[in-house]
Amino acid sequence: MRQSLGLIAAFALALGSTSSFAADKSIVGLITKTNTNPFFVKMKAGADEAAKANDVELRSFAGKVDGDNESQVAAIEDLIAAGAKGILITPNDSRAIVPAVEKARAAGILVIALDTPLDPPNAADATFATDNFLAGEMIGQWAAKTLGAKAASAKIALLDLNVNQISVDVARDQGFLKGFGIDLGNPAKIGDEKDARIVGHDVTLGSEEGGRKAMENLLQKNPDISLVYTINEPAAAGAYEALRSVGRDKDVLIVSVDGGCPGVRNVKDSVIGATSMQFPLLMAAKGVEAVKTFASGGGKPKSSPGLDFVNTGVELVTDKPVGEMPSIDSAAALKKCWG
Amino acid sequence: MTDIGSSRPAAQAFELVLDKGESRVAEFEVRARSPLQKLQHFLHANPTAVPAIVLLLSVAAFGFTVGPRFLSMFNLSLIIQQVTIIGVIGAAQTLIVITAGIDLSVGAIMVLCSVIMGKLAVTIGLPAPIALVVGVAAGAGCGVLNGTLVTRLKLPPFIVTLGTWSIFFALNLWYSASETIRSQEVAKIAPLLQALGTPVNVLGARFTYGSFFMLGLVASIWFALNRTAFGRHLYAVGDDPDAARLSGIRTDRILFSVYVIAGVICALGAWTLIGRIGSISPQAGQTANLDSITAVVVGGASLFGGRGSIIGTLIGALIVGVFRNGLALSDVDVLWQEFAVGWLIIIAVALDQWIRKVSA
């Protein structure tokens, strides 16, 4: 007993000494969903740069796989123990992470959600994110205008993320349908739409492999598919391979969301008709700046007007612009993919 | 006492009672088998019969409910294309499972090898055949690490491959910098890497070279398992390693070589993966571990070792493929497709346990 008390005391001392050692630099924690997805790799790069520029110490954590809540809770606990000033987190589970976030905020830490809002959104001090519904709506509108008169008889395949119906997945899918002019039913639910133009939904896990299989199966349901919505660009690349293998790659329109560099190159090669670019690097950089401001006595960041999050922007990327829709071409987009 | 020489002395009065007694020494009780037991025996003797029957029944059931859209030659051959990767990786898994092991690192080996092939051929610009050979060698290297840890340090395969799964996956992310190599670039610079995706049309059916490659691989493993000493040793090691050792089999050498062979097959799986999805993505293959185990289990192999067949695994992969494709065409929500595949696995194992009761 005495021994273990001694150990605890030593441990506490060690903790105290490290936090006092680091006290001259504010600690900012970055917790991403995984460290495998290039989107989060870019986000980490943005946070790294901003940490150097703002003279704060960045500590990065990530879940092991998409959906891994436990690792993220452990990361929050570590950061509380380390005396962090702010935590930037992309929650793997928007709802389950809330109690851990409350603990961090009770300890006086500024918590900012990046990319994916918490549920409820005000469980974090602020959210820096892409307007995913708008991102979907833009490619939906672009597709409707590009198809013109053919939009009325379009056959649409929707390649979503997974079976969980997470907020980002739902927002992009429903945004696309609204932009295309389809009655949504419940906007918080994928798959309850009644429009006859929808051939079906399938899931891709956001990968090339999943995108190919989903596209093949939907083509079996209806070989006349003319428009494909994809949750992200890897899924779009897989869908394209499926279409190419049956010789339909020239006459089927694919739209997507993300704005990663390989995706933008696919826009250039006409694999993808249009994509909505988001800015993870900016999210992270703004997040680090906000923590710096908060740590030096400034206030908490305020949401964009009319939204419950800070909109980090989204841009339509296409080489075939339509009418009055603002867009950038692939050459311009390549210079700032995910910037 | 007068007639000692005669073969059968006259029975004395008290001995007469023996004639009425039991004269048989010992024998097996032969009960009439019920038709169900006969079926059980048949299935026990033919381990691929159950998955084959399930496959035929599920094809028939979907053919009946979905109709010609499902039964078309094109769709049936599409299912074969869709299971190609899992068929190849499942072949590696089968070999390991027969030795009573499990390999949780197969997916990571596959994606690591695909990234190595892509990096060398597309980014660095080495000739594609060299990239391919180096990729296969890398797969063998992964197998050497697994095999060494299992046979030299005597660690359980589950733990070893759980660890190496993380190691290989981390190497893959580091080496690829999490960046995807696009299909168009592969096609332009190193088309050989996509060769197994080349389609072949046969009477309305469409196969890829990858499908034929998978069938060839399965056939050669079938031959190795059933017609060579190595194969029989593999089963012996899986069934009872002590007995195998006592009968002169070098069990460690067999085990080690199985992990190396599995690594090489995973590298070949990487080649089929590139053929199928065109691009080379460090995110690929995330579900390959569990999918390969599913194929092996549904195909009737026992996770306790010593029992299983390569044809069974191929059929197991096809069953899962038929279920997913058939349910998708029946407009079943993806949520319930997962649900159905889950039950499929449990029923497959329950059926296997029932069949094994024959020998109990």
* A241/B278 CB distance under 8 A: yes
User: In the numeric block, which tokens belong to residue A335?
Assistant: 């210079």
Residue among A38, A208, A265 minimizing CB distance to B277: A208
CA dist A110 and A85 (Å) reads: 6
ipTM: 0.79
Is A234 in Cβ contact with B283 (below 8 Å)?
A: yes
Contacts of A199 in chain B (CB under 8 A): none
Residue A18 pLDDT > 70: no
Q: What is the pLDDT along chain B (360 residues), one digit of tens a residue?
A: 445 545 555 667 777 777 777 777 766 666 667 888 888 888 888 878 888 999 999 999 999 999 888 999 999 999 999 999 999 999 999 999 999 999 999 999 999 999 999 999 999 999 999 999 999 999 999 999 999 999 999 999 999 999 999 999 999 999 998 889 999 999 999 999 999 999 999 888 999 999 999 999 999 999 999 999 999 999 999 999 999 999 999 999 999 999 999 999 999 999 999 999 999 999 888 889 999 999 999 998 888 888 889 999 999 999 999 999 999 888 888 888 889 888 988 888 888 788 877 755
In one-letter notation, the amino acid at residue A207 is S
Q: What is the mean pLDDT of residues A194-205?
A: 93
For residue A259, the distance in angstroms to the closest alpha carbon of chain B comes to 14
Q: Closest chain A residue to B66 measured between Cα atoms?
A: A221
Burial of A192 (0-12, 13-18, 19+ CB in 10 A): exposed
* Rg (chain B; Cα; Å): 27
Range 178-197 of B in CB contact (< 8 A) with A: 178-180, 182-184, 197
CB contact under 8 A, A262 and B199: no
Give one DSSP letter per residue of B156-195, joined into a string: -HHHHHHHHHHHHHHHHHHHHTTPPBPHHHHHHH-GGGGG
Q: By CA distance, what is A214's nearest residue in B?
A: B328
Measured between beta carbons, the chain A residues lying within 8 angstroms of B278 are: 208, 237, 240-241
Cβ of B178 within 8 Å of Cβ of A38? The answer is yes
Per-residue confidence at A17, pLDDT binned at 50, 70, 90?
Answer: very low
Q: Is the pTM of this model over 0.95?
A: no
| Contact check, Cβ <8 Å, A208/B278 | yes
Is the CB of B252 inside 8 Å of chain A's CB atoms? Answer: no
Residues with Cβ within 8 Å of residue A9, at least 6 apart in sequence: none
Closest Cα in chain A, distance from residue B102 (Å): 21
Mutate to test the interface with B, among A34, A35, A36, A243 (most CBs of B within 10 A): A36
Interchain pair B283, A262: CB under 8 A: no
Residue A254 neighbours by CB under 8 Å, 6+ apart = A228, A230, A236, A239, A240, A243, A271, A272, A273
Q: B296, B315 in Cβ contact below 8 A? A: no
Look at residue B359 in the predicted model and tell me its pLDDT.
56
What mean pLDDT comes out for the span A252-258? 96
Q: Do A36 and B178 touch (CB under 8 A)?
A: yes
How far apart CA B324 and CA B346 sit, in angstroms, is 16
Which residues contact residue B345 at a Cβ distance below 8 angstroms, ignoring those fewer than 6 apart? B294, B297, B298
Q: Is B85 on the interface with A (CB under 8 A)?
A: yes
Chain B residues whose beta carbon lies within 8 Å of the beta carbon of residue A245: 197, 199, 206
Residue A16 has pLDDT above 60, yes or no: no
Q: Considering only alpha carbons, which residue of chain A is nearest residue B328?
A: A217
Q: Could you say which of B180, B182, B328 has the minimum Cβ distance to residue A217?
A: B328
Task: Give the model's confidence band at A20: pLDDT under 50 very low, under 70 low, under 90 confident, else very high.
Answer: very low
Query: Model confidence at A19, in pLDDT bands (50, 70, 90)?
Result: very low
Distance from CA of B136 to the nearest CA of A (A): 21
The reply to whether B78 touches chain A by the CB within 8 Å rule is: yes
Q: Do A241 and B276 touch (CB under 8 A)?
A: yes
Tell me what pLDDT residue A168 has.
87
Q: Which residue of chain B is at minimal alpha-carbon distance from A161?
A: B334
Place of tokens 């989204």: A314
Residue B104: enclosing H or E segment and its boundaries? none
A97 φ, ψ (degrees, to nearest 5) = -80, -15
Decide if B183 and A240 are in contact by the 8 Å CB cutoff: yes
C-alpha span between B109 and B188 (Å, rounded)? 25
Helices (DSSP H) in chain B: which residue ranges?
Answer: 16-19, 35-45, 49-66, 68-71, 73-82, 84-98, 106-118, 128-151, 157-176, 183-189, 209-227, 229-239, 241-246, 251-277, 288-298, 310-329, 334-356
**Nearest residue to B57 (alpha-carbon basis) of B334, B331, B333, B348:** B348
pLDDT digits (tens, 9 = 90+) for A306-317: 888 899 999 999
Token pair listed for B42: 């048949």
